[in-house]
Structure 1
Amino acid sequence: MSGKEIVHKMMEKVGISSPRGDVGKGKSKMSKHVTHGFHLLEGKSTHPMEDYVFAQFKQVNDKEVGLFAIFDGHLSRDIPEYLRSHLFNNILNEPDFWTATENAIRRAYRITDTMILDKAKDLGKGGSTAVTAILINCQKLVVANVGDSRAVICKNGVAKQLSVDHEPEKERETIENRGGFVTRFPGDVPRVDGQLAVARAFGDKSLKEHLSSEPDVAVEIIDDETEFIVLASDGIWKVMSNQEAVNCIRNIKDAKSAAKALNEEAVSRKSTDDISCVVVRFG
């Protein structure tokens, strides 16, 4: 086995992907019935792959956290990679993470964005969306997001969206109050200042005065009705509804196979964007 293959196997074992066309899986030590799998596919655009995935179970003192995320870059590979390396560390290092988790996540998102803006000279232009999910002791799920990557939970076969799609048209008033504008020119997609098709993101220093990095945060309790959650970039959601995505993989018990099948279904529906997906199954 080559050195590259050994590194890939080690990364897959702990649940961390490399950036291009990869699959991987992992499982909880607290509950053998909770597993995750991920899959990435490079799109047909001319730029290099800009999606990154994080998926890992981690012991923190006497607790276990499942850490899952999709980072979808725009005009940047360095910023989503930076997020993958730093965001969860910032969240877990918040002193009130265990007692006021939602506030800690919001604060860590803001701190991470400030870190990215301070390093703009090194990280370059552009930015990244993010959707993160933290599973605490296999019982409590906390989802946060900026941008249009999405988290969906399936309970008894019914899809429920846990994140918020931050679309410029929906946040036009806020953007205009900050001195920006929303236009469909050029093209037919609403964009902040005619440039960015999401209303919230990390980075994007040139647009930051008109662009928010404040996440929406949601909490969901994992119960006996919970089957799985899906985190995915907009390469899936452009061609599939939440319920269609759930229906596509509900009967696939292996989480890695489910993530791969969902991405391949998006491609069969003519999605040309980079596509990344994490599936977490609950027994």
Structure 2
Amino acid sequence: MTGKEKILSKMKEKVGLGSSDPDSGKGKSKMMKHVTHGFHLVKGKSNHAMEDYIVAQFKQVDDNELGLFAIFDGHLSHEVPDYLRSHLFENILKEPDFWKEPEKAIRRAYRITDTNILEEAIDMGKGGSTAVTAILINCRKLVVANVGDSRAVICKNGVAKQLSVDHEPSMEREMIENKGGFVSNFPGDVPRVDGQLAVARAFGDKSLKMHLSSEPHVEVDMIDDDTEFVILASDGLWKVMSNQEAVDSIKHIKDARSAAKHLTEEALNRKSTDDISCIVVRFQ
């Protein structure tokens, strides 16, 4: 990078446009300058291309500000998580009742988006994607939704609280079997839907959709003076770190992007081989 490029990069960071590195970046709220976000992605050791995609931005909508944060962890596909990155928040915000009933709007938008993906399955292939989304409304209200095992964790007074649900096949065996599917540890060493997929809820996966759900778990949390930060990450992180370990490892790192990078590096140190993507939103 030339001297001029370095100066330009630093200027971009100052105004919250992030760096020139697409796998790392940061930004901040215009409504409350102390609310910041940072992200970092690392490709795993598999032979396929990177299948994690993220959204991390603040967006003005009329007189409101929305923080839009998401991690989409693809499997057998980069088309589905890429589609989600481009369309899921757009579909959520198009819902007419979003401002009055955001939970209801998010559930409906998740269903609509999954239907659209399945209708375009010929172009997108047979794969799918998990998702965890977090919408921060005017820096006061946080609405988290997820399907699959990408996870959202909030830290208040140093204590980790999980806001999402890991949709594991063993936990949803009854639902899967009622739909005519089965859960098996063979082949492999973890429970899988029809012996294939290690999550019970996902976008896409047309060949398994009869036995899968795309209905999200939705949870609302209010941001108060005790709220320190939120972590969103793919299972490449959570396979090797507990919620509290993740919180403890970054509680003294004030820069959100440095915190996200630290978490990915710690996951690598703990021998995670999966794609790892991480977003940190700091409130203090």
Provide TM-score, normalisation by structure 1: 0.94
Q: Which runs of 5+ in 1 are unaligned?
A: none
C-alpha offsets along residues 208-260 of structure 1, whole Å, 9 cap, x if unaligned? Answer: 00000000000000000000000000000000000000001010000000000
Matching of residue 149 in structure 1 with residue 140 in structure 2: no
What displacement does 1:15 show?
Answer: 6.0
What displacement does 1:88 show?
Answer: 0.2
What displacement does 1:11 show?
Answer: 9.7
Decide whether aligned partners of structure 1 residues 104 and 22 sit closer, same or farther in structure 2, where only a CA change above 3 A counts. same
Decide whether aligned partners of structure 1 residues 15 and 230 sit closer, same or farther in structure 2, where only a CA change above 3 A counts. farther
What amino acid maps onto 1:179 in structure 2? Answer: G
State percent identity of aligned pairs: 77
C-alpha offsets along residues 66-125 of structure 1, whole Å, 9 cap, x if unaligned? Answer: 000000000000110000000000000000000011000000000000010010011111
What does residue 123 of structure 1 align with? 124
Decide whether aligned partners of structure 1 residues 195 and 16 sit closer, same or farther in structure 2, where only a CA change above 3 A counts. farther
CA distance in 1: counterparts of 2:19 and 2:169, whole angstroms? 31
What amino acid maps onto 1:155 in structure 2? Answer: K
Counterpart secondary structure, 2:100: coil
What does residue 243 of structure 2 align with? 242
Decide whether aligned partners of structure 1 residues 28 and 21 sit closer, same or farther in structure 2, where only a CA change above 3 A counts. closer
Instruction: Kindly report which structure 2 residues correspond to 1:152-171, keeping only aligned pairs within 5 A, or say none.
Output: 152-171=153-172
What does residue 80 of structure 2 align with? 79
Counterpart secondary structure, 1:168: coil
What displacement does 1:17 show?
Answer: 9.4
Q: Is the CA contact (8 Å cut-off) linking 2:16 and 2:28 kept in structure 1?
A: no
What displacement does 1:46 show?
Answer: 1.2
Q: Is the CA contact (8 Å cut-off) linking 1:167 and 1:198 kept in structure 2?
A: yes
What displacement does 1:189 show?
Answer: 0.6
Q: Which runs of 5+ in 2 are unaligned?
A: none
Instruction: Kindly report which structure 2 residues correspond to 1:82-93, keeping only aligned pairs within 5 A, or say none.
Output: 82-93=83-94
What displacement does 1:14 show?
Answer: 6.7
Provide TM-score, normalisation by structure 2: 0.94
Decide whether aligned partners of structure 1 residues 247 and 268 sit closer, same or farther in structure 2, where only a CA change above 3 A counts. same
Let me know the Cα RMSD of the aligned residues. Answer: 2.1
Decide whether aligned partners of structure 1 residues 103 and 210 sit closer, same or farther in structure 2, where only a CA change above 3 A counts. same
Q: Is the CA contact (8 Å cut-off) linking 2:88 and 2:109 kept in structure 1?
A: yes
